[in-house]
A and B are shown apart, each in its own frame.
Chain A
Amino acid sequence: MSASAVHSLWTTAATAADPISKIPAPKIEYGQLSPTLIVVGAAIVGVLIEAFVPRKSRYYAQVFVSAVALCAAFAAVVGLAADGYGTTKAHIAAMGAIAVDGPSLFLQGTILLAGLVGLFTFAERRLDPEAHGNRVDSFAAQAASVPGSDSEKAAVKAGFTTTEVFPLLLFAIAGMLVFPSANDLLTLFVALEVFSLPLYLLCALARRKRLMSQEAAVKYFLLGAFASAFTLFGIALLYGYAGSVSYATIAQVVDGSITNVDPALANTMGNDALLLVGGAMIVMGLLFKVGAVPFHMWTPDVYQGAPTPVTGFMAAATKVAAFGALLRLLYVVLPGLRWDWRPVMWAVAIVTMLGGAIVAITQTDIKRLLAYSSIAHAGFILAGVIATSKDGVSSVLFYLGAYSFVTIGAFAVVTLVRDAGGEATHLSKWAGLGRRSPLVAAVFAVFLLAFAGIPLTSGFAGKFAVFKAAAEGGAAPLVVVGVISSAVAAFFYIRVIVLMFFSEPRPEGPTVAVPSPLTMAAIGLGVVVTLVLGVAPQYFLDLANQASVFVR
């Protein structure tokens, strides 16, 4: 493997006497980066559409471009995987910045599918009642107008919609595609920012309860900025430790197998304090993104305040991307340090599983409940991460795939249950839903059972896979804690089912809106994936298994 891009630039600068013509042109494998490039390109086209296409046709143009781009990118991922880039031809592209290997492609495929399903829920325009004869979606008419102001009313009256959400979604997806495949720390950081910033914006764009939505966005932004700062600080420290931001070089320095020590960095290089503190700070940033305790504080507020389609997309795709990055960091950069990080991750996993499950019991809002449930799930996935084995990787990949479809589906169901104030997210309003709309309640029950890990749903297969990997990796106590918190978690999922089916419907209860085929597709896909992965998971386990080797 070549030395990192940064490293070679630095040496080029040191020998400045050479004529400029000798600077090697960077070799970029455009074909292998095509999934990301397609999405970024489409996002830029989306921005241009905002600038030049008349307002009336923007929505259709945006949805069309986004859908085509996501499908094309997914096709590109499948093509790369079929070419063997996930297994035999796995290598490091773009001058050491991007790894094209099994985990990258698997996670990119998952993110793209989650993005596509997310797009369906973004594009839904039949749920909210028509405002002044215009169909509207879940997003604010004009984000810049102050909530409750005259300009907002004017915007609503004019039938404005924020079609910018589509390019924002695409930018976020592009960042997420790079995040798990980043192979040096700077790419990692750039990808982190590229997908975080659009998400902060998207969180603020709710059509209803705008103040809450903006509050959520500010919280997410502030805490996210802290996390980014930590990550960046950690990157600086690791650079000081290894003299490089490249994953491979850092791993070599950790192993002690590096040969060419840079004299300028001889003082700090190999200083374990830098390694430990730097590594911990980067991991902290990633744990923030996955919502692990104790870095989970933002999750409930943001999940509750953000427009529900955004919440669903964020809950699914961010977790996939962030766990991908965490896996690569721990398995590629810091495997030599596992005796140091494993105990810490043990503790994090245990408090995450128990904390998420226990606090969820007291929740009265369905979105907050799902937020805490997502925290508990982050804990279960961490149990697979801790296994430090090939099985660990494949189980985490499988879990992420299974989980993201359940999550988007569940939040899509939440968008359907509405009363006069928009979505009826308070749990008490869900009482008796099973009597009013048996089908919607049954579908939601399937998602809840999958969250609870009941056999014959994808949740069980995923949970079994991570627990099996953890047990084989010698983390049996973690499995016991996981099983106990599953039992606790089951309690609150069941409580929602009790409410829906066994409680008398209230006279002033919410109605279930009939969605367009878009949301139906999102929900239907969620149900199908949940059941297929529950009953016949073998094909997807094989896929995850083949995809579970990182390139170094």
Chain B
Amino acid sequence: MSFPLLTATAVLPAVGAIATAAVPAARRTAAKWLALIVSLATLALAITILVRFDPDGGRYQLTESHAWIADFGVRYELGVDGIAVALIALTALLMPFIILAGWHDADPLETGSKRWRPTQGFFALILGVEAMVIISFEATDVFLFYIFFEAMLIPMYFLIGGFGDRAHEHGEEAASTQRSYAAVKFLLYNLVGGLIMLAAVIGLYVVAGNFSLQEIAQARANGSLHMATSTERWLFLGFFFAFAVKAPLWPLHTWLPNAMQESTAPVAVLITAVVDKVGTFAMLRFCLQLFPEASKWATPAILVLALISIVYGALLAVGQRDIKRLVAYASISHFGFIIMGIFAMTSQGQSGATLYMVNHGISTAALMLVAGFLISRRGSRLIADYGGVQKVAPVLAGTFLIGSLATLSLPGLAPFVSEFLVLVGTFTRYPAIGIIATFGIVLAALYTLVLYQRTMTGPVKQEVSAMPDLRARELVVVAPLIVLLIFLGVYPKPVTDIVNPAVKSTLSDVHKKDPKPAVEAAK
């Protein structure tokens, strides 16, 4: 038996989480270093997966399969396709930066007993989330996926509710109330989505008799597993609802701004750049493969919702006064693009969507983490409290600018490639929707540039005049992300090479071919 690489990649951060939690209360710094080292080791394993994965090989590689709960028809089945590999790499890549950026976010306040260990808890929870996210990307058993899809809510919930920005305009009491509100809202939205999916998971078992993604997809393809049209649609809706809450898609998005606003910047990155990706990833992997007919049936409605997400998210981002909320609404707009790319059912669209997931993760991390550094300096999230920062902290302002430009998909930076692919992929099949979606880019330019202009340019405000520039630790966080943004913007081939074959097989699952180019069709 070969080395269970996929299991190891998920187990390592889980073990690291337990070890971090067990570090004695006084050895806070040791816990931080331990978490960082574990996340780096996980990254090494993820890179090994990346190397060992052969894009032109079989569909699912590095597979593992063991009996687990035979009574429920559940097996412990792991396997990765190109899409999963890209997202695992993204997750493992972002984690060290998230941990580094949150280095001081959980240093204990004076309240609490001697046994109260918030720092250990914070980093243990982050590693726990990493473990669960990675295993959700790897699971090819629907039940296994579901378990971690749901279980990851609990550590996320404690991260959102337990740790927030230090400074708050209405004092610590109000901050803690708002935080727990945001945490409960996050949990309830996602739990309801998850429970509805549970009903669909049970329904799938009743119809199919097991949970193996490959077996069910195969049985569906060769016709040995027949699903009544209405059954398939109900099950599809059950799955899609959960993923749309997680992703989040308008009108199920309202938990995201609260959660991102109240949590610390690294946790906000964790939510939007990593955890939410599980939702869009699952649409590709589970909705399309298990329910191809229903996916096609639902496409028009989903495209309209995605379009609304794009425009609505962007419009609301323009009107925000709070930096983190602005990024949250921008993310909602971007998730609209991703979902649109997935359901355009073209190879460009889906490749673009997968690439978008990766790029959005990197660009949001860059923008949000720099914003977090900014906020921690001034102690305010309000845009109006800043002005002229670029004169006192030019490096901070410069990195913030690059993050902003990546968010608006400036050509040359990574998100441009994916956004372009998504738009092209959508346009070839649904020209009208593609055209309207383009307005999202225009609005993106508006909200990011206005944000930059208001905070960084203009006369230096009194309160920011003594603001220090980025420290070494912060530079270590930001610089690699920016390098990546530029590199993938110029040369996205490494990612697209891995992703493309997987997208092709997903498309063939739903029996869709790319539409012929218009010129050729006219001949």
Q: Do A and B bind each other?
A: yes
Please indicate which of the listed interface residues A471, A484, A495 has the most CB atoms of chain B within 10 Å of its own CB. Answer: A471
Give CA–CA (A247, B184) in the complex, Å: 50
B179 CB contacts on chain A under 8 angstroms: 502
Residues from 422 to 476 in A contacting B, C-beta threshold 8 Å: 435-439, 449, 454-456, 460-461, 464-465, 467-468, 471-472, 476
Select which of B154, B162, B191, B198 is within 8 A of A502 by beta carbon: B162
Q: What is the CB-to-nearest-CB distance from B262 to chain A, in angstroms, rounded to a whole number?
A: 11
Give CA–CA (A494, B156) in the complex, Å: 13
Interchain CB contact under 8 A, B176 and A504: yes
A476 CB contacts on chain B under 8 angstroms: 203
B297 CB contacts on chain A under 8 angstroms: none
Nearest-CB residue, chain B, relative to A470? B202
Q: What is the CB-to-nearest-CB distance from B145 to chain A, in angstroms, rounded to a whole number?
A: 11
The interface residues of chain B, by DSSP majority, are classed as helix
B205 CB contacts on chain A under 8 angstroms: 468, 471
Given contacts A438-B116, A455-B151, A483-B199, contact A490 B72 (CB under 8 A): no
Given contacts A471-B203, A502-B176, A503-B180, contact A490 B148 (CB under 8 A): no
B196 CB contacts on chain A under 8 angstroms: 483
Is A501 an interface residue when CB atoms closer than 8 A count as contact?
A: yes
A449 CB contacts on chain B under 8 angstroms: 154
Residues from 142 to 170 in B contacting A, C-beta threshold 8 Å: 146-148, 150-151, 153-154, 157-158, 161-162
Give CA–CA (A454, B151) in the complex, Å: 6
Is A479 an interface residue when CB atoms closer than 8 A count as contact?
A: yes
Interchain CB contact under 8 A, A439 and B115: yes
Select which of B115, B161, B173 is within 8 A of A501 by beta carbon: B161
Select which of B70, B111, B187 is within 8 A of A538 by beta carbon: B70
The interface residues of chain A, by DSSP majority, are classed as helix
Give CA–CA (A456, B116) in the complex, Å: 25
A538 CB contacts on chain B under 8 angstroms: 67-71
Residues from 486 to 537 in A contacting B, C-beta threshold 8 Å: 486-487, 490-491, 494-495, 498, 501-505, 536-537
Interchain CB contact under 8 A, B180 and A479: no
Give CA–CA (A461, B68) in the complex, Å: 13
Is A194 an interface residue when CB atoms closer than 8 A count as contact?
A: no
A255 CB contacts on chain B under 8 angstroms: none
Give CA–CA (A495, B198) in the complex, Å: 22
Given contacts A454-B150, A472-B206, A502-B180, contact A545 B199 (CB under 8 A): no
Give CA–CA (A435, B121) in the complex, Å: 12
Given contacts A455-B148, A471-B206, A542-B71, contact A437 B113 (CB under 8 A): yes
Interchain CB contact under 8 A, A464 and B202: yes
Give CA–CA (A503, B112) in the complex, Å: 11
Please indicate which of the listed interface residues A439, A495, A537 has the most CB atoms of chain B within 10 Å of its own CB. Answer: A537
Interchain CB contact under 8 A, B184 and A487: no
Q: What is the CB-to-nearest-CB distance from B354 to chain A, in angstroms, rounded to a whole number?
A: 27
Is B47 an interface residue when CB atoms closer than 8 A count as contact?
A: no
A501 CB contacts on chain B under 8 angstroms: 158, 161-162
B67 CB contacts on chain A under 8 angstroms: 538
Give CA–CA (A502, B180) in the complex, Å: 6
B70 CB contacts on chain A under 8 angstroms: 538
Interchain CB contact under 8 A, B151 and A464: no
Given contacts A468-B202, A472-B206, A490-B191, contact A455 B176 (CB under 8 A): no
Give CA–CA (A301, B180) in the complex, Å: 31
Q: What is the CB-to-nearest-CB distance from B186 to chain A, in angstroms, rounded to a whole number?
A: 10
Is B188 an interface residue when CB atoms closer than 8 A count as contact?
A: yes
Residues from 184 to 238 in B contacting A, C-beta threshold 8 Å: 184, 187-188, 191-192, 195-196, 198-199, 202-203, 205-206
A484 CB contacts on chain B under 8 angstroms: 195
Is B183 an interface residue when CB atoms closer than 8 A count as contact?
A: yes
Give CA–CA (A437, B116) in the complex, Å: 8
Give CA–CA (A143, B203) in the complex, Å: 54
Is B285 an interface residue when CB atoms closer than 8 A count as contact?
A: no
Select which of B69, B116, B180, B191 is within 8 A of A487 by beta carbon: B191
Q: What is the CB-to-nearest-CB distance from B130 to chain A, in angstroms, rounded to a whole number?
A: 16
Is A480 an interface residue when CB atoms closer than 8 A count as contact?
A: yes
Is B277 an interface residue when CB atoms closer than 8 A count as contact?
A: no
Interchain CB contact under 8 A, B147 and A455: yes
Is A541 an interface residue when CB atoms closer than 8 A count as contact?
A: yes
Give CA–CA (A455, B157) in the complex, Å: 15
Interchain CB contact under 8 A, A468 and B154: no
Residues from 64 to 121 in B contacting A, C-beta threshold 8 Å: 67-72, 111-113, 115-117
A487 CB contacts on chain B under 8 angstroms: 188, 191-192, 195
Interchain CB contact under 8 A, B195 and A468: no
Give CA–CA (A495, B146) in the complex, Å: 24
Give CA–CA (A542, B115) in the complex, Å: 41
Nearest-CB residue, chain B, relative to A490? B191
Select which of A467, A491, A504, A545 is within 8 A of B173 by beta carbon: A504
Q: What is the CB-to-nearest-CB distance from B139 to chain A, in angstroms, rounded to a whole number?
A: 12
Q: What is the CB-to-nearest-CB distance from B166 to chain A, in angstroms, rounded to a whole number?
A: 15
Given contacts A435-B112, A455-B147, A498-B180, contact A479 B202 (CB under 8 A): yes
Given contacts A455-B148, A503-B180, contact A494 B188 (CB under 8 A): yes
Interchain CB contact under 8 A, B72 and A464: yes
Interchain CB contact under 8 A, A498 and B113: no
Given contacts A454-B151, A479-B202, A502-B176, contact A537 B69 (CB under 8 A): yes
Please indicate which of the listed interface residues A454, A502, A505 has the most CB atoms of chain B within 10 Å of its own CB. Answer: A502
Nearest-CB residue, chain B, relative to A480? B199
B180 CB contacts on chain A under 8 angstroms: 498, 502-503
Q: What is the CB-to-nearest-CB distance from B184 to chain A, in angstroms, rounded to a whole number?
A: 6
Nearest-CB residue, chain A, relative to B187? A494
A465 CB contacts on chain B under 8 angstroms: 71-72
Give CA–CA (A461, B151) in the complex, Å: 13
Q: What is the CB-to-nearest-CB distance from A440 to chain B, in angstroms, rounded to a whole number?
A: 10
Nearest-CB residue, chain B, relative to A434? B116
Residues from 15 to 54 in B contacting A, C-beta threshold 8 Å: none
Offer 23 A-B interface pairs, CB within 8 angstroms, sorted by A: A435-B112, A454-B150, A454-B154, A455-B147, A455-B150, A464-B72, A464-B202, A467-B198, A468-B72, A471-B202, A471-B205, A471-B206, A476-B203, A483-B198, A483-B199, A490-B188, A490-B195, A495-B184, A498-B161, A502-B176, A505-B111, A538-B67, A542-B71
Q: What 4 A-B pairs come out closest when comparing CB atoms?
A: A455-B147, A541-B71, A502-B180, A435-B112
9 extra interchain contacts, Cβ-Cβ under 8 A, other than A438-B115, A455-B151, A490-B195?
Answer: A455-B146, A461-B69, A465-B72, A471-B203, A483-B196, A494-B157, A504-B173, A504-B176, A541-B69
